Structure 1
């Protein structure tokens, strides 16, 4: 299935209208349909008015209850999958303000208790030193000082022991020189320090490991309910359980290839020493 970013918001409205029309053609009230498919009447109402993007299991239950033919049901399920996907473009984020994006990320971090970050290219904000954060925002318009402050404030979530974090970095991500050698040495030592937090697992996939599959995108999985994938021009947000399961499977594959614990700590210390030797 392929889609253009502008399809994503439109698909929610299209799906709501289509499901409502199918119910009316079947001669069912919202309450009767709710009883047939085991959902509440308020859920049916929210789905049909576009106030709720339905889960795929809910759409499947509705289509079964309405007796929708298999071919049409397949098309509607494709539309439902798009409706469970959101495109957040970089340009739109810039218009809304980068500080608002930091608030959105903080809300996501508050919404889950288990987090998995796959970082094939560079260090993420939760793991970054102030110098690294500032360098990463160097090409952003306007005054980035408030955004830097919000990024650093968000790092407090790492010390919430009710939450667990697994960070997977490729060796390339560890070594990518976003800042000069001395600052990179401090950054890598910071990774080693964070890896010793009791609720944090930090793994490195060494460059010599034969992976069999290229690390294509940075992605984050929040619990089992949401995954985000980063691109140069924006991010895709997935809520479909099958998309999330696929990202969890990919994460698990790379997790099996990574080094953790004291082995990862020794590796990071060696890389930090290399940066100091480059001075």
Structure 2
């Protein structure tokens, strides 16, 4: 399928992007909105996978993971993060916890970026009981993971409050207690990445959600808030960023509600250029219907 500007996937609804590069190809993993006709509710039961060698032509793979693949879960395929580590692929997801209160974070693994993925633990990685005291049943939303240059790995997530924990070397257990990161108007949708000496933590800001970000020279903080990175996306109250360096350029993935019949519960992934200033800060993203390349008139 050839992209015609933003949104980049037009035949189905996609949301909450996470991206990685493997063997010269970009892999895009998304949620999939499937609300009943005429209803404005979140209904997400599986994740989707697409790949591209140029960010223009996207190939759709069979769905590599569903919420029901976690036998301990009770449905709901929320925002996620996929990383490659030691030649394996780890998919950190948020699902409804069928064995306890609220949401939980699980991990699936695969030997191929397109899957299929299987539950790596057979139980949650993070449950509500592991958190500092909170009554928010949605606290365990939207995990993001960074494996640092020294091999140590970190998990960041949350809803209303941003949480932080170190992972053990196998990425399948926490390596210590859960702590918090204080960020202005943190809503959800965290994304962590590192470039040079700086760590960047982007997240959904306020509601309806813009995307803001903070920077630090240490994964442990302190974090300095840098401002708004992405304004409210069209026709959609939520946002979840993903940032990718690919073939010498930087890109910003997000979602909006721009497709026909789209909206906050029928979302679509978009991509625009991302630029860094000389001091390491990120320039505010200019959202465009054309995206990163001029529209094309042909389809395959």
**TM-score class normalised by the smaller sequence:** under 0.3
TM-score, length-scaled by structure 1: 0.27
Structure 1 or 2: more strand by fraction? 2
Q: Quick check: which has more Rg, 1 or 2?
A: 1
Structure 1 or 2: more helix by fraction? 1
Greater relative contact order structure (CA < 8 Å, 6+ sep): 1
